[in-house]
Amino acid sequence: MESCQRQGDLHESQTSMVRVAGLFVQGIGGSAPILMMVAIFAIFYFLLIMPQQRRQKKWQAMLSQVKPGDKVVTSGGLTGAIMSVKDDVVVLRIPPDNIKMEVTRASIVTLTTPEDRPKS
């Protein structure tokens, strides 16, 4: 008899939960899908778009500050020292044979020269 009473209580609580859920959905109405889309866009913006924009600005700032003597790595994997900087072209000296090669400034991926070099 107790198990029948427990099942009845369980059934009543489930139906009341369904009623509450139905009222909640009716209260929000047709704006629920729009709110979900806005929430998804906000999540994408803060997790994907904004960090990428920060990386892009940091990379652009690094490219604008390259100067002769800096050691860099290109997107092709070449490692060398900058000999001269023109508008959009950088001349690299690539060891061990000291080969001079012109590459575009945009192909520079990282700057490997430490920021605070000791002055000799």
The pLDDT tens digits of the residues spanning 29-49 come to 567 788 899 999 999 999 999
More confident residue, 73 or 114: 73
User: Would you tell me which CATH number, out of the four given (2.30.30, 3.40.50, 2.40.128, 3.30.70), belongs to the domain 66-111?
Assistant: 2.30.30
Single-letter residue type at 66? V
Three-state secondary structure call for residue 5: helix
Tell me the domain boundaries of the chain. 2-62, 66-111
C-alpha 113/C-alpha 120 separation (Å) is: 15
Residues in contact with 101: Cβ distance below 8 Å, sequence separation at least 6, in sequence order:
78, 80, 91, 92, 94
DSSP string, 30-65: GGHHHHHHHHHHHHHIIIIIHHHHHHHHHHHHHHHT
Going by the DSSP 8-state scheme, the letter that residue 45 receives in this structure is: I
Categorize the per-residue pLDDT at 120 as very low, low, confident or very high, splitting at 50, 70 and 90.
Answer: very low
The pLDDT tens digits of the residues spanning 59-109 come to 999 999 999 999 999 999 999 999 999 989 999 999 999 999 999 999 999
